[in-house]
Structure 1
Amino acid sequence: MKEERNTAAPLDDGSLNNNPSDIGYWALIKEDFFVHERKFGSQGFWTLFWHRFGNWRMSVKPKLLRMPFSLIYKAMFKSCEILCGIKLSYNVPVGRRVKLEHFGGMILGARSIGSDVIIRQNTTFGVADTKDLNAKPTISSGVSIGAGAVIVGNITVGKNAVVGANAVVIKDVPDGAVVVGVPSKIIRINK
């Protein structure tokens, strides 16, 4: 008897500019700079800068005119991985005022990341099982993620939730919940 599994919906294919539509490109970059405390050397800022650039380039039509921007994006994406220790592909929709705090060791393969999110070092978002490469987490707005957290699978971390340091999250987290541990468990829900 063949086992049936629910597979996740396809991920964003990256064919569109998924930067937040309620703010212009340069205003978004300025906002990211302020969120990262106006530190020109902030690795989190530069990773978001090239993420935003990767999205912006998708609005350049036709594809032939976009090609030089794509080459720049690909080189800078790899540079961010090597020099900043952060992997955040442009096809992950990212909201506004996201702070990539304490750079290093971040693999941010999410379905999407909301606004007003703080992500600390050594954090991993991604798949729980290689049999479904689309099964990536959704990080809602207002989430605070502690250092070393692992959030995997086709799950949702609810609005204003707190994921404790080194928590391993493999199940949905309700809005306002505080989760800790391996595997994570809810210790309280903030109202």
Structure 2
Amino acid sequence: MIKNKTDYLYYLQRDMEAHNVSKWGIRMRYQHPTLRFQRLLRKIEYYKNCRKDFIGKFYFIILKFAFHKQSINLGFTIPINVFGPGLSIAHYGSIVINKNSNIGENCRIHSATNIGESKGESPTIGNNVYIGPGVKIFGGITIGDNVSIGANAVVNKSFPDNAIIGGVPAKVLSFQESPKILI
């Protein structure tokens, strides 16, 4: 969650790195609509969490309208303060995320994805998770770090770290080698 201006700038930088963009320019606004959406998402998170003064609250209301319009245009229903830094939305199209979900750093998410609640509980998703197109994740489950979820999987139970999962209902297909840390 963005707690200050430094966090805000860090989140913006990590999101750009996730899209392989080194510098934001006016031209990028039209070449990367999903990244433009993410930048607005981070800005609205910053103003919601950090700016409690009158001008900050007023600007937050203006940003909400722009955010709502972009959400409709791109087909996203993504609430604020859900994703960690390094978010990469691969394509625009139907993406629906429950507001109580908690998703870690470096998440890559594709279109036609739904992350929702079941029986009042929402998923917790770890760091470095790849979510393929058409994936449905729901319930009070936990998905570990370094997990890849295959296309059209229906995930309704928890999975450990370093798993490759897929299917309906989802099951572990294999385990990937855990990343090596270089010292």
Counterparts of 2:37 and 2:77, CA distance in 1:
8
Pick the aligned partner of 1:78 from 64, 68, 74. 68
Aligned equivalents of 2:5, 2:85: Cα separation in 1: 10
CA contact (8 A) 2:125 2:143 kept: yes
Measured after TM superposition, the shift of residue 23 of structure 1 is 4.6
**How many angstroms does 1:177 deviate by?**
1.0
Instruction: Measure, in 2, the Cα distance between the counterparts of 1:79 and 1:34.
Output: 25
What residue number does 2:8 align with? 25
Q: Distance in 2 between matches of 1:120 and 1:179?
A: 16
Letter in 2 for 1:146: G
Deviations along 1:42-73, one digit per CA (max 9) or x if unpaired, are: 232122212211221121123x3332122123
Give the Cα–Cα distance (whole angstroms) in 2 for the partners of residues 21 and 67 of structure 1. Answer: 15
Q: 1:20 to 1:117 in 2, by over 3 A?
A: farther
**Conservation of the 8 A alpha-carbon contact between 1:46 and 1:80:** no
Q: Deviations over 1:129-173 (max 9, x none)?
A: 4xx2xx111111011111000011111111001111000000001
Measure the CA separation in 1 of the matches of 2:145 and 2:15.
20
| Structure 2 residues not aligned, in runs of 5+ | 22-27, 178-183
Mapped to 1, the partners of 2:154 and 2:95 lie a distance apart of 15
SS at match of 2:52: coil
Distance 2:66 2:81 in 1: 15
Match of 1:123 among 100, 110, 113: 113
Deviation at 1:26, TM superposition (A): 3.0
Structure 1 CA distance, aligned partners of 2:51 and 2:152?
Answer: 40
Q: What is the deviation of 1:31?
A: 3.3
Partner of 2:155: 169
Query: Which amino acid letter does the alignment assign opposite residue 88 of structure 2?
Result: K
Indicate the SS of the match to 1:49. Answer: helix
CA distance in 2, matches of 1:187, 1:20: 38
The whole-number CA distance in structure 2 between the counterparts of 1:167 and 1:111 is 18
Gap change, CA 1:80 and 1:139, over 3 Å in 2: farther
Counterparts of 2:169 and 2:34, CA distance in 1: 28
> Is the CA contact (8 Å cut-off) linking 1:80 and 1:87 kept in structure 2?
no
TM-score, normalised to structure 1, is 0.79
Number of residue equivalences: 168
Q: Which runs of 4+ in 1 moved over 4 A?
A: 20-23
| C-alpha contact 1:112 1:138 (8 A) present in aligned 2 | yes
